[in-house]
Structures are given as structure tokens and as C-alpha cells.
Structure 1
């Protein structure tokens, strides 16, 4: 299923608005309800966003990728970079 989330914290890193789900402004219940209604009523969009979300999660948040990113971070810190 696609994600409908508020555009806060780490959500924009995980959800690409209009591609893997919908990001809405925080404290905006009308926009939240509208985004949910959009995906409830549009089966095709719901499936497209849902599968895109699965692909994004597999590519961006896999264990191998996270280990690689952490290793790069530690290496840059060891070199005195930020």
C-alpha cells in the first residue's frame, strides 16, 4: 500500500510525494483526508504508488545499503570530515 504521511521528520526521505505516496503539510486534516480519499478512490494510482514504495524501500533502505552508508560516514569522520 502507498503511504500517506505528514511532511515532517524523516518522512520525506522515505516517501516521494506523487511517486510512492502522498506527503501533506502537518496539522492540515483537510489535506490529509484529501490525500487518503484520492488513493482510496483511485485503484490504479494506489497500486502504482504501492509498488514504487516497495522498490524504493528495497533500493534505499536495504541492510547492505545502510551498512555501506554507515561505513562511509565512519570513514569520513575518521578523516576529520563532516
Structure 2
């Protein structure tokens, strides 16, 4: 499954969360826009909201109600990142 397909499936809740690691390309940003318009929360690997082209293309995406769980699962380093 490509990044765009995964992002589109996150909106209705077909996927709990998505970890995009080293993803690039114009289609990535189109998928992110579609996901955000569908209410998907997108953030970088530091837990900050995604607001454009990141310096490194590492992005997490999930429904808002799953944000804390996904954030803790992926970003946990001993301290609570969320």
C-alpha cells in the first residue's frame, strides 16, 4: 500500500495509524492534504503538528482520538512525548 492509499484509509478509520518513514514525492503531500481534510491528525516524529514540508520526511498520521496512543507507541523514549 502506498503512502497516499494509506493516508486516504486513515480518514474513515480503516487504519488506526500510519508511520511514514522517509517518504517523499508530490503524491505524499497530496495524500497528506486529503487526509487532513478528512480530519486525520498529522504530526512529525517529535509529536508536533505537521504544517508543511518537514526537514525530514518522517510523518505520523491517525484519527484525532487515536493521537495519544499512536504517539506513545511510536515516539516513546522513556518520557511521555504527548
TM-score (norm 2): 0.32
Q: Please identify which structure carries the higher strand content.
A: 2
TM-score (norm 1): 0.32
Q: Please identify which structure carries the higher helix content.
A: 1
